[in-house]
Amino acid sequence: MTTAHGQYPEISVVIATRERTASVVRLLTQLNDQALDASAFEVIVVDDGSPEPAGPALDRLQLRYAMSHHRIDWSGQAAARHHGALTARGDVLVFMDDDMQVPSDFLPAHLARHQASPHTVVLGRIASDPGLAEMPPFERFNARQLERWRAGVLAGDIAPRGMHLCTGNVSMRREDYHAVGGFNLSLRRSEDRELGIRLERHGCTIVYGDEARTVHCSDHDDAIWLKRAYLYGRFDRTIAALHPEVEDAHPWRFWGLIHPASRPVVGLSLLSPALGRAAARTAFHAAQFTDRLRLTRVAVLLAAVAYALEYFRGLREECGSFGAFWRDRPAYRRSLFAAVGAMRHAIRADHEEVRAHRLKYQDELVPASRLPVDLVRRVGFQMLAWYRLMRCLDTCGVPVLPMVISRLIRHLYGADIHWRTQIEPGVSVVHGQGLVLGRHAVVGTGCILFQNVTLGECFDAVTGKVGTPRLGAHVHVAPGATLLGPIDVGARSKIGPGAVLMQSVPEFSLVSSPVATITSRRSPAALALYAFAKRAI
């Protein structure tokens, strides 16, 4: 953009570094090959008090874009990145770690996302190093976690949230960054997650940009890796105290991700931090030993246990005494009760739809107290209640049971509803036999679904994406209708009986199947003879 001060770049890349001059030089050289005009971006490098300053090596680089470097006293990554953001001139800030490598379309991919939607935070992909097999087990563990998260997002199982923000590869509008106050400089770890929470509360849309890819080439040693796990436990607890309204920000949520067989071991850190520290180092050295024996899976598993031990040791010490820690635990467990409360609210909302339809179409006023009776007598309402229980169990992380209930619905009602289907409260199912709702289908509040309706997964020939339909509020889908692919059906639309829909439609649309053709089964001569005979009689 052009201002009174001249031409400003569109993107400012901020890189905080400490004792990684060679990595920064490699990254700056790769940024030289970006498929953008040199005036479209700038790079700001902040040296966070490296014993050997990076400045002289950076001054020798021949770069086609504007690059500036600053040196501050050792203050931590949050302070270094914030210093760079304060000097940035671009509309879009891109934060990167100094040990990344980038392809030529990296910055264009970030910029395209922001041009398509304002007030967006783009979480870029952090890919594994091609030489991953040669990395120590703890780095392979980190890479596996990143890939699992990516797979969950691409499959639609995980919705990108502010707490997922990682400054290894992320971009946001500069005005949004400053509007929320930037990084919390009091946090030595997890400052990126805390910033993401505030950006989300500010109204920013959090999206995942798989095309905005970096390659992570870490050189952390063992001691740093264990220390980071410990600090994450401590500062995640601090973030939970800063944002008590964000239940997913509480570090206790990670307890549900630990394999049940490992929980007794990890529990050592909660009972005794000293014992947990010893157990973490034992697990870590065992991971290194098994890795040398080429027992790769065992080594990664032991590295995960070591990480969990240190993480929960940090949480335990941040809480202080064991009593304080134990009192803190229910703060996260309340989310389980919240899931049960949400289920009860949704069932009541579904019953309100039943009552409204009975009044509208049958002129019958049904009291709210009739909920148990309708739950027994009305099959569609029963199916929704089973679905609500299934979703509650899945939200609480209960294994197997959601799948069992899904199979039970199939055998009892002849309907196939996946436990990850998103059905908003206040939906009505009429009859329900033959209903098929795909894994990522979305049904808005006030929708009516009749029998033999399908919301199925399909490939979109135009966009090349695979997905399932999303219904807006108060959409009526008549018997036998089939909706396929990643399409959006606007609010208050009606889908007629037997209609097949494979494209998005706006609000208040009417989608109908071809009108039936009615012809006589008899020839004209036979009809004339029949008419003559009838008159004669």
- Measured between alpha carbons, how far is residue 390 from residues 382, 438, 483 in Å? 12, 15, 23
Amino acid at 364: E
Check pLDDT > 90 for residue 494.
yes
Contact residues for 462 (Cβ-Cβ < 8 A; gap 6+): none
Question: Which contiguous run of DSSP H or E holds residue 527?
Answer: helix 524-536
pLDDT score at 191 = 94
pLDDT score at 336 = 61
pLDDT band at 154 (very low <50, low <70, confident <90, very high): confident
Check pLDDT > 60 for residue 6.
no
Joined together, the tokens standing for residue 26 give 């490699």
Check pLDDT > 50 for residue 300.
yes
The boundaries of every CATH 3.90.550.10 domain in the chain are 1-220
pLDDT score at 131 = 63
Sheet holding 494-495, edge to edge: 428-429, 448-449, 476-477, 494-495, 510-511
Q: How many residues does the chain have?
A: 537
DSSP state of 75: -
Burial zone of 317 (CB within 10 Å; 0-12 exposed, 13-18 middle, 19+ buried): middle
**Residue 130 to residue 136: CA distance in whole angstroms:** 14
List beta partners, residue 45.
15, 69
**Residue 176 to residue 206: CA distance in whole angstroms:** 12
For the domain 334-511, what is the CATH code?
Answer: 2.160.10.10
pLDDT band at 333 (very low <50, low <70, confident <90, very high): low
**Residue 161 to residue 116: CA distance in whole angstroms:** 19
| Range among 129-138, 311-320, 333-342 rated most confident | 311-320
Amino acid at 530: Y
pTM over 0.75: no
pLDDT tens readout for residues 90-111: 999 999 999 999 999 999 999 9
pLDDT score at 4 = 32
**Residue 514 to residue 241: CA distance in whole angstroms:** 59
Name the percent of the chain lying above pLDDT 70.
93
- Domain made up of 1-220: CATH architecture: Alpha-Beta Complex (3.90)
The boundaries of every CATH 2.160.10.10 domain in the chain are 334-511
Name the percent of the chain lying above pLDDT 90.
58
The pairs formed by 331-336 with CB atoms below 8 angstroms and a separation of 24 or more are 331/240, 331/244, 331/250, 331/252, 332/240, 332/247, 332/250, 332/251, 332/252, 332/253, 332/255, 333/252, 334/247, 335/247, 335/248, 335/250, 335/253, 336/396
Average pLDDT over residues 281-287: 92
pLDDT band at 265 (very low <50, low <70, confident <90, very high): confident
pLDDT score at 330 = 57
Average pLDDT over residues 202-229: 85
pLDDT band at 326 (very low <50, low <70, confident <90, very high): low
**248-284: b (≥16 Cβ within 10 Å) or e:** ebbbbbbbeebeeebeebbbbbbeebeebbebbeebb
pLDDT band at 142 (very low <50, low <70, confident <90, very high): confident
pLDDT tens readout for residues 424-457: 999 999 999 999 999 889 999 999 999 999 999 9
Annotate 205-225 with three-state secondary structure. EEEEEEEEEEEECCCCCHHHH
Average pLDDT over residues 113-132: 85
Average pLDDT, the chain: 88
Check pLDDT > 70 for residue 187.
yes
Contact residues for 395 (Cβ-Cβ < 8 A; gap 6+): 339, 342
Check pLDDT > 80 for residue 238.
yes
Q: At 67, is the secondary structure helix, strand, or coil?
A: strand
pLDDT tens readout for residues 445-491: 999 999 999 999 998 777 667 889 999 899 999 999 999 998 989 88
Contact residues for 329 (Cβ-Cβ < 8 A; gap 6+): 252
